[in-house]
Structure 1
Amino acid sequence: MDNFDRAAETQYTMNGLLRYELWQLLAQTQYADYNGSFYKTGAFSDVTVTCGGHAFPCHKMVLVTRSEWFFQACAGRFREANSRIIVLQEDDRELVGAMLYFCYALDYDQPSADLPAVLFHVRMFALAEKYSVYGLTCLAADKFKKEAKNGADKAVLAEVVREAYDTISDEEGMFGRAIMEIMGHELETINLDG
């Protein structure tokens, strides 16, 4: 095999790898879209998550691959394992719906404008920690940063800091870094005492 053949083979291999990486990216996107449609329709659901009087038809296989808490609940360590119903009584229905949608589509939207977006993302981060939903803490922190950069009200930011301090353990410091990045020097001018 001469140098030209080796170069052609290397180029073919590199193109093949590039095509494979693009295919993987496309497959992941299609997977999220496909799973998102399963969430929206409830087709073939085998477990129902209830919260605030609303029933969310879900799929154990999706939930257990995204959340350690749901894995434990479905694997027999919680009373829910023998039932097809998981009750989340203490949580906000809109947040739970957005969290469950994330498990399928790897994204979430803020369902209503009743709550400032930056506060919604803080609460989503806290819920993701509570239920150990992989990837959702990162997404909530990123969405918080983007929303806060759009110019959140100082009073709302003060509420965000208070709520984050009260509800988030943030063992990796991810949300704390996001707050500091956005607010930095403004923390001194915000009244945190309420």
Structure 2
Amino acid sequence: MEDFKFDVGEIKKEHEHSIIDCTFTWEVPDFLDRTEKAIRSPSFSFLKADGQWADFNMVVFPKGKTKESKYITMWFRLNGNCEPDWFTFTIKIKNDEEFNPKNWFPSPTFFDTTKNENCFEDLEFKKNSTLVQNRETLLPNGAITFLVNIKNEIRERKPDPSEDLAQDLDYVFPELEFTDFTIICGEKRFPCHAFMLTARSEVFYGMLKSDFKEKINMELRIDTIQPDIVYEMLRFIYTAQVEDMSLEKTMDLLKAADQYQLLGLKDICGTRLVKKLTNDTVFSLLILGDTYQEENLKGKAIMHAVKNAKTLIKTPGWELTTREHPRLMIEVTSHLIQDKDSE
């Protein structure tokens, strides 16, 4: 890693609010002429509001992370002891006065390290064409200067009785007692509580409120879902927690969540599947998001397909999806045209 010019800006301290406000600059020479794919910044160290030191670093991809990308792409990662803190950061290019949220980040981006958030990846920062067109202003002598502002605030956490409830339910879930209802899946039997099922799922509520056989027998047979998926569905019903699962299992869990109207579980699965978007998975996840009305997953899959269209259009997945899901691929094509028009 080269030793780039690195200056620490003004540090503002507001101890009455437990806030630290720091601004850093990172100058990268010959930015548009660099041959390496990624450039890593030095570590930026700062004294947090709690008196402990922390540091962060950035990685910038001058020509984007992929060949098809039209944007500078950035990563930002907090290091060190960062719990239980709350951070915001802002990045912009020196001398850039435009206010266009699509191209840069003037509004704060949040980190909540109490939720293990310490890294943002693949931030599409600014179009390469914009840098070329404004070379004299944004790249004086060929160098780009990033201005990075980071704020750290310590928020006092008040005891939350609901956390005790969640912990207690998580503790008892593996071996439930005093049960009054049973879900049968293959050779597996899952004893559980009718009141929990009805409180968490409109489907279970309707099933057990009416005189269906499930209410009469106080049991439900499920033949369309695998036992491990049923177990994870019940885990969510009791604890609002979900184990990490493979791509296929997460897709199956989303389908089960949709079937039993567990909207919170469906959102969790959709969010996790977004992180599994690749050129190999994009079409199956696009179809899944559309079929089960998981709009965030569908939207991110469309964005991925548009961003990587030059590669994907040559694959069997593009042809198969076009043939079997023409309406869906019309949406992808429409976004692709809009993207080209905006260049």
Q: Could you say whether these structures have the same fold, taking a TM-score greater than 0.5 normalized by the shorter chain as the test?
A: yes
Partners of 1:77 and 1:174 in 2: how far apart? 37
Gaps of 5+ in 2: 1-154, 322-343
Aligned to 1:128: 257
Aligned to 1:191: 316
Query: Does the alignment pair 1:106 with 2:235?
Result: no
Query: Does the alignment pair 1:169 with 2:298?
Result: no
Deviation at 1:145, TM superposition (A): 2.3
Aligned to 1:70: 204
Gaps of 5+ in 1: 1-17, 112-116
Which of residues 163, 175, 185 is equivalent to 1:51?
A: 185
Q: Letter of the 2:227 partner, please give it.
A: R
Q: Percent identity among equivalent residues? A: 17
Give yes or no for contact 1:68–1:132 (8 Å, CA) kept in 2. yes
Give yes or no for contact 2:283–2:301 (8 Å, CA) kept in 1. no
Partners of 1:65 and 1:184 in 2: how far apart? 41
Higher RCO, 1 or 2 (CA under 8 Å, sep at least 6)? 1
Aligned to 2:172: 38
| Aligned CA-pair RMSD | 2.7
Render the CA deviation track for 1:1-49: whole Å, top value 9, x for unaligned: xxxxxxxxxxxxxxxxx98x833xx322222222223321121111111
Q: Letter of the 1:159 partner, please give it.
A: S
For this pair of structures, how many residues does the alignment match? 162
Give yes or no for contact 2:285–2:297 (8 Å, CA) kept in 1. no
Aligned to 2:117: none
State the TM-score, normalized to the length of structure 1: 0.70
Rg comparison, structure with higher value: 2
Aligned to 2:151: none
Which has a greater percent of helix? 1
Query: Does the alignment pair 1:139 with 2:268?
Result: yes
Partners of 1:71 and 1:29 in 2: how far apart? 25
Q: Hey, which bits of structure 1, 4+ residues long, moved more than 3 A?
A: 156-165, 180-184
Partners of 2:309 and 2:173 in 1: how far apart? 40
Render the CA deviation track for 1:107-151: whole Å, top value 9, x for unaligned: 11146xxxxx233222222211111113111111122223x26xx
State the TM-score, normalized to the length of structure 2: 0.42
Which has a greater percent of strand? 2
Q: 1:157 to 1:177 in 2, by over 3 A?
A: closer
Partners of 2:183 and 2:166 in 1: how far apart? 20
